[in-house]
Amino acid sequence: KSHPQHVLAKRQQKAGGAILSFTLKGGKKAAFKLINQTKLCSITANLGDTRTTITHPATTTHCRVSPEARKAAGITDGLVRIAVGLENVVDLKNDLIGGLKK
């Protein structure tokens, strides 16, 4: 709710959204640790899959963008992006919680 575009997102995603992102404290090291700990998420930059995918945009989809441009776009070294697939939401939550705990 604290994000400046929260109201816009709520209006555009009334039925929910399939892509989410969040930033982990600890930068790239923390992001890679989470990504490598997940079991259900497929590690890829491909968004066109029925499986849930997890990516590190700074080193995949935006690796050729300058650090300054990434920063301006909010793409930090700790940013992780998840494109939710068809798996059970409880299983996905548990997978991510398990990865975050480690």
Cα-Cα-Cα-Cα dihedral sign, residues 97, 74, 52, 64: negative
pLDDT tens-digit profile, the chain (102 residues): 898 888 988 888 777 668 889 999 999 999 999 999 999 988 887 767 788 999 999 999 899 999 999 999 999 999 999 999 889 989 999 999 998 987
Domains defined along the chain, listed by start: 17-101 (3.90.1150.10)
Whether 92 and 100 have beta carbons less than 8 Å apart is answered as no
Q: Are strands 42-43 and 53-55 parallel, antiparallel or unpaired?
A: parallel
- Read off the amino acid at residue 72: A
CB atoms within 10 A of CB 44: 14
pTM of structure: 0.77
**For residue 14, what is the DSSP state?**
T
